[in-house]
Chains A and B, each alone.
Chain A
């Protein structure tokens, strides 16, 4: 993968799906959030309480890049993702997917949007229906959009490194890494342009994490995908991200290229996150950590 630190040059997206993007299309941002604010109101009796889960977020996902979104649990990462998928009401600001405003999209436009932006879930044990075979799980999006063909399913299987003889098996017969591959294949079924990956490797053990991350990097290269990669594991992000956004209490507190964020964190929260990464080699630990009482 060549270093991509910004918008992909127009027309530089070979796709095996055969859909060529026009130069104009390629210059549109995949996801653009401007001043996005999402609020939840809870009512207890007559008292109303408003929680601002996402607070004026400006975020852009360029085509072909991997934008990592980091932050502790409860900082609004998932809310942001759900809002992009049109599942939360927007209090202020706007979010658009390929130039299409999510809030004002008609059902038809929303369906078209869903084909371009797909999601890979965190837990491969609960994101696959245990009653369906691998083939059925991957065929599901194709069937719903009436574009099912056995060849396409085989192709998807091969893209994620599974073989045909696992067609008839159920999720319980796969390992965690294999299940996540099935989840990725399902997300790829409708030939999307953007994958939103919600901590796709945090449920896997480390050796399998590397395999899945490599698979993701490989797919990005081959299919010209853009990734919005949500994670709390900074070592994973260092492995895959082109840009990093750090989120805290509903706000983006730092946004920059991977190298900038990792080598010269501007915000104290980012330094805190970086400092909390466990380093296996004691000689390479930051001095502040090595001397701190544990």
Chain B
């Protein structure tokens, strides 16, 4: 361009038609042609796009099916509350252990006690189902609760900076330096006996810290991006900037952290139950079942295997679903799911 003669009316490049940029290097690997007027691209709303991409993610779909199956099995088999389930036995009544309480589950048969019986003859399938119910409730309440608290604290601290950030982040640091288990144990001992919902909320109230720091970091970097300056330049309200321009871009971090915190909640609950601060007998959770029967591992391994398998299955499913969700929300994903 420096070769141009020094005249007032600059010569124009050939054309202004948008089609001229079709050959410009495309940032997409698929090489999708941007602006072909003769071939209109079908466009989807954000929600549709996310749904379609999620349903195309095989791992996530399998995990979702398995998780739904486990949930349905746990809640319908022995019922919940006053609602009876289709499984004839409950998880508290004792009886004589048949055949040493060995599982009767065969390749094609279910038998009397498919998961066996424990030392006092309680039906272990019913106990595992009850444990799964409790663990699922705790895991999801903790996962969702801590995500909400962590996101709110982190985004406010990151966006508004200054004194608000100082207060919120010192509070977070304070929670982090106290050993989680001790903190949870003390609070749940205080809240003691008020049931699993209270326990779940207590766990949520002490596990949001890592997400708060992650979200704060993301928000700190995003608020300096030019699209946020652009939003400010047109006079956008701070709340709208936060909810429309910043938080949607942190969704990947939030989802990953939520899936971790769901798995972690199951384990934290088992540790607490093991120490006697979490779920208390006669109620059971998967973690409690494992710790209760860990000594029986050599003689009655099924008392360990079945709840262990369910913990593993739930944690894996949650991770896969989180993976699928993160991919689905990623705007740089080119796949439309068709």
> Could you list which residues of chain A lie within 8 angstroms of chain B, going by C-beta atoms?
1-3, 85, 111, 114, 118-119, 121-123, 126-133, 140-141, 144-145, 161-163, 165-178, 181, 183, 186, 189-190, 205-208, 210-211, 213-215, 217-218, 234-236, 238-240, 258-259, 262-263, 277-281, 284
Chain B stretch 14-36: residues in CB contact (< 8 A) with chain A:
16-18, 20-21, 24-28, 32, 34-35
Q: Pick from B16, B233, B237: contact of A214, CB below 8 A.
A: B16
Q: A211-B16, A239-B4 are in contact. Are A126 and B227 (CB under 8 A)?
A: yes
CA distance A238 to B18 in the complex (A): 24
What residues on A are CB-neighbors of B248 within 8 Å?
129, 131
What residues on B are CB-neighbors of A144 within 8 Å?
234-237, 240
Q: Pick the interface stretch among B5-13, B92-100, B103-111.
A: B5-13
What residues on B are CB-neighbors of A128 within 8 Å?
227, 230
CB distance from A2 to the nearest CB of B (A): 8
Q: A169-B43, A190-B234, A208-B21 are in contact. Are A263 and B13 (CB under 8 A)?
A: no
Other than the given A2-B9, A186-B234, A284-B3, 5 more pairs (CB < 8 A) read: A127-B230, A140-B234, A145-B235, A171-B331, A211-B13
Q: A3-B9, A166-B34, A240-B10 are in contact. Are A177 and B21 (CB under 8 A)?
A: yes
What residues on B are CB-neighbors of A262 within 8 Å?
6
A-B contacts, 8 listed (Cβ < 8 Å): A119-B229, A131-B46, A144-B236, A161-B16, A178-B35, A211-B16, A238-B2, A278-B2
Contact B43 A167 (CB under 8 A): yes
Majority secondary structure of chain B interface residues (helix, strand, loop or mixed): loop
**Cβ-based interface call for B225 (8 A):** yes
CA distance A174 to B234 in the complex (A): 23
Contact A168 B41 (CB under 8 A): yes
What residues on B are CB-neighbors of A3 within 8 Å?
8-9
Contact B2 A122 (CB under 8 A): no
**Cβ-based interface call for B338 (8 A):** no
Contact B235 A111 (CB under 8 A): yes
Q: A85-B233, A238-B4 are in contact. Are A214 and B35 (CB under 8 A)?
A: no
**Cβ-based interface call for B1 (8 A):** yes
Number of interface residues of B (CB under 8 A): 49
7 interchain residue pairs of minimum CB distance: A168-B43, A127-B226, A210-B13, A3-B8, A175-B24, A141-B234, A235-B1
Q: Pick from A114, A163, A172, A177: contact of B234, CB below 8 A.
A: A114
CA distance A2 to B25 in the complex (A): 34
CA distance A217 to B13 in the complex (A): 11
What residues on A are CB-neighbors of B3 within 8 Å?
279-281, 284
Of B17, B28, B225, the most chain A CB neighbours within 10 A belong to B225
**Cβ-based interface call for B231 (8 A):** yes
Chain B stretch 79-101: residues in CB contact (< 8 A) with chain A:
none
**Cβ-based interface call for B119 (8 A):** no
What residues on B are CB-neighbors of A166 within 8 Å?
34-35, 41
Contact A175 B34 (CB under 8 A): yes
Chain B stretch 230-250: residues in CB contact (< 8 A) with chain A:
230-231, 233-237, 240, 244-245, 248-249
Q: Pick from B20, B37, B227, B234: contact of A129, CB below 8 A.
A: B227
Q: A172-B28, A175-B26, A238-B1 are in contact. Are A214 and B13 (CB under 8 A)?
A: yes
What residues on A are CB-neighbors of B16 within 8 Å?
161, 211, 214-215, 218
CB distance from A58 to the nearest CB of B (A): 25
CB distance from B182 to the nearest CB of A (A): 38
Closest to B329 in A: A131
**Cβ-based interface call for B40 (8 A):** yes
Contact A211 B34 (CB under 8 A): no
CA distance A141 to B234 in the complex (A): 6
What residues on B are CB-neighbors of A129 within 8 Å?
227, 231, 244-245, 248-249
What residues on A are CB-neighbors of B35 within 8 Å?
162-163, 165-166, 178
Q: Pick from B21, B46, B233, B235: contact of A175, CB below 8 A.
A: B21
What residues on A are CB-neighbors of B20 within 8 Å?
211
Contact B235 A114 (CB under 8 A): yes
Closest to B247 in A: A131
Closest to A240 in B: B10
What residues on A are CB-neighbors of B4 within 8 Å?
238-239
CA distance A277 to B3 in the complex (A): 11
Q: A121-B229, A161-B18 are in contact. Are A1 and B9 (CB under 8 A)?
A: yes
Q: Pick from B1, B44, B237: contact of A210, CB below 8 A.
A: B1
Contact B331 A170 (CB under 8 A): yes
**Cβ-based interface call for B170 (8 A):** no
